[in-house]
Amino acid sequence: MINKIKYLFLVVFFTSFLGCSDILEEVPVSDLSVENSFNTEADAKAAIVGVYNSLQLEGVYGKSQTLFSTDEHNAGSKVPLSGFNLYSFTADNVEVILPIWRDHYVGINRANLAISKIPSINMNVEERNTLVAEAKFIKALLYFNLIRYYGDVPYKYSETASLNDLNIPRTPVATIYENMIRDLEYCVEHLDVKAAGLAGHATQDAAKTLLASIYLTRGSMARRDNTGNGIADFTLATRYSKEVIDANRYRLCPYFPDAFIVQNKNNDEIVFDVQFKSPGLGVGNTIGINMGIPSTASGVDNLTAGGSQGAIRANPYHQFYYEVADSIRMKWTNARILINATTGGYSIVSAVSNNPPVSAAKFRRYPVRSPGFVLQTNDYDVNWPIFRYAEVLLIYAEASNEINGPNQLAINALNLLRSRARNTNIGGVHRDILPRSLSIQRSIGLVDLTLTNSLVSSQSAFRNYILLERSRELSQEGKRWFDLVRWGILKSTLRGLNAKCIAKISETPPVEVPVITNTKWTNYWNGRVDEWNLITGSIQDFHMLLPIPTNERMANSSIGPNNPGYN
């Protein structure tokens, strides 16, 4: 009983106390007497709980990852984000930019503490090495995010132990890459493979997937910046993603929506995700209130219906990225429906008014299958996927194309996604009936790619196809901003969005509701043009990095000047 109480104390200590402190203002470890808390195996496991829980923080995967405006989705212009959603933000932004920096470093400090203290604990050596590897995995993941957000950032080799550890200059991205890769190679050696009871834990395949993503990013950015051909990095991205594929421990869910619904958490497609739980445990998220399907009800009734406030909306142009036959992925991701509140229940109705919503609906809560449960603002328990097997296939295809151009193995990987997208469920995608009764849409296209297809006629054509396929498959999962940045097409993609949408409107009505008139669709888009004019008029090349938060530059005198374009 004493050990259980001590374990719970340490969980609270690492998940709550450290989470309240800004990394550059936190109390040094030496003043907390934590050395005396690292004595047993239970202490080590409690520390790792705290490391994992840092992923739930607002600035990590609790909220901020959904707030970047791209051609997939954006927060509405009236959402108070100090211009973050409109690309008019500054280094003074405390709604998004500061929490991203602060919360990532909270997690890094927790990881460093575990990495430093766990090796001295007397316990099974293999289990001890695995715990250290889990902490190193999270540290590498957090730094991978930070360098993509901010470029050069301070690299902390150890936990903050004294006030002398607070003033740290920015470390070159190249050095941080090498540190991440070294840690992840340790992870590949010491992490467990996928097994029952390891849901939410870093595994060997998760480390390989993160390595593959790191190498893919570094290779594409070398080409973006004309600093190299990236072949060595693409080769390693291909190697690690292929090892995950060949291990045959993961598979695509037969039906696309099943990768995201609460009832199918920890499915065979998840390589690594952030675990959230509810109700009332303090470890839920805001996804259900910010993203989802709107309801005709309001207030608590809207939540009871499984509705969303829709603070984050799908970009209406995104549905034109899908082929006509790719209706399951498009409808599930960019839903044009309403939850109709009726006496005694709720139903789905098509939104065909002059102002129909296009919802960012991938993580929808409808239909509610837990009677009597009311979704609170920050208490949804859907998990957040960081890596799905679908992305492993996409990484392999992209890296392979960058080395060899279009090839059959890369095409085979993408055809698995196209094949899955053909599966439909009885009753339609929005009714979401369980158990599944799947059939294949064979009569309306979405055929497999071949080497003779125009979409793969050249390396550049195949690259463009893969980037769009990443968007079709991974939309609303926090990947698109990173993809547009690493290939240097953020500004060009967003700047032309208004004209591209108007051109599409003149070609065809929206795919999802074929009966809607061009007039209604045009009226709907025109209702969003002013908002998108704010975004496209503000976006600049320097927005491929965020500014270092003002608070952090004031706290750390060694951090130096801000990123170009920011004061």
Instruction: Give pLDDT tens digits for 118-161.
Output: 999 999 999 999 999 999 999 999 999 999 999 999 999 998 87
Residue 464 has pLDDT above 60, yes or no: yes
pLDDT score, position 371: 62
Residue 558 has pLDDT above 80, yes or no: yes
What mean pLDDT comes out for the span 201-207?
Answer: 98
**Residue type for position 166:** L
Query: And the tokens for 109?
Result: 């400090």
* 392-394-396-402 Cα dihedral, nearest 10 degrees: -150
- Measuring CA to CA, how many Å separate 233 from each of 217, 219, 222, 397? 8, 5, 9, 14
**Distance between alpha carbon 125 and the CA centroid of its chain, in Å?**
34
Residue keyed to tokens 């060949």: 246
pLDDT score, position 44: 95
Residue 117's CB is within 10 A of a number of other CB atoms, namely 21
pLDDT score, position 527: 64
Residue 164 has pLDDT above 90, yes or no: no
Residue 13 has pLDDT above 90, yes or no: no
Q: What are the backbone angles phi and psi of residue 559, rounded to the nearest 5°?
A: -75, -25
Confidence of residue 342 (pLDDT cuts 50, 70, 90): confident
If one compares 80 and 471, the residue with the highest pLDDT of the two is: 471
Give per-residue pLDDT as tens, 33-67: 455 678 999 999 999 999 999 999 999 999 999 99
Q: What percent of the chain has pLDDT over 70?
A: 86
Confidence of residue 68 (pLDDT cuts 50, 70, 90): very high
Beta strand 345-350 with 334-335 is: unpaired
- Residue of 531, 342, 325 whose CA lies nearest to 448: 325
Residue keyed to tokens 């890769």: 181
What does the alpha-carbon distance between residue 303 and residue 376 come to, in Å, rounded to a whole number? Answer: 8
H-helix or E-strand spanning residue 563: none
SS3 label, residue 385: strand
Give per-residue pLDDT as tens, 343-367: 667 788 876 554 556 889 999 988 8
pLDDT score, position 252: 98
Give per-residue pLDDT as tens, 475-523: 999 999 999 999 999 999 998 787 777 777 777 555 544 444 556 556 6
* 171-172-176-181 Cα dihedral, nearest 10 degrees: -160
Rounded to 5°, angle at Cα 534 from 528 and 537: 125
Confidence of residue 542 (pLDDT cuts 50, 70, 90): very high
SS3 label, residue 184: helix
**Residue type for position 173:** V
pLDDT score, position 251: 97
**What is the sign of the dihedral through the CA atoms of 45, 47, 52 and 58?**
positive
If one compares 122 and 528, the residue with the highest pLDDT of the two is: 122
Burial of 437 (0-12, 13-18, 19+ CB in 10 A): exposed
Residue 153, strand partner residues: 171
Residue 342, strand partner residues: 345
Give per-residue pLDDT as tens, 282-338: 788 888 888 999 888 888 788 778 888 888 989 888 988 998 889 999 999 998 888
What mean pLDDT comes out for the span 62-77?
Answer: 91
Q: What percent of the chain has pLDDT over 90?
A: 63
Question: Taking the CA atoms of the chain, what radius of gyration do you get in angstroms?
Answer: 23
Q: For 68-124, where are the alpha helices, taking DSSP H only?
A: 97-117
The residues, any chain, with a CB within 8 Å of residue 465's CB and separated by 6 or more, are 455, 456
pLDDT score, position 500: 78
Q: What are the backbone angles phi and psi of residue 106, rounded to the nearest 5°?
A: -60, -45
Residue 272's CB is within 10 A of a number of other CB atoms, namely 21
Residue 73, strand partner residues: 314
Confidence of residue 19 (pLDDT cuts 50, 70, 90): very low
Alpha carbons within 13 angstroms on the beta-carbon side of residue 195 total 5
What does the alpha-carbon distance between residue 526 and residue 502 come to, in Å, rounded to a whole number? Answer: 9
Is residue 413 within 8 Å of 397, Cβ to Cβ? yes
What does the alpha-carbon distance between residue 92 and residue 101 come to, in Å, rounded to a whole number? Answer: 12
If one compares 506 and 7, the residue with the highest pLDDT of the two is: 506
Give per-residue pLDDT as tens, 235-290: 999 999 999 999 999 999 999 999 999 899 999 999 999 999 887 777 888 888 88
SS3 label, residue 171: strand
pLDDT score, position 21: 33
What does the alpha-carbon distance between residue 143 and residue 147 come to, in Å, rounded to a whole number? Answer: 6
Q: What is the mean pLDDT of the chain?
A: 87
Residue 32 has pLDDT above 90, yes or no: no
Q: What are the backbone angles phi and psi of residue 153, rounded to the nearest 5°?
A: -140, 160
What does the alpha-carbon distance between residue 345 and residue 301 come to, in Å, rounded to a whole number? Answer: 11
* 303-476-429-526 Cα dihedral, nearest 10 degrees: 80
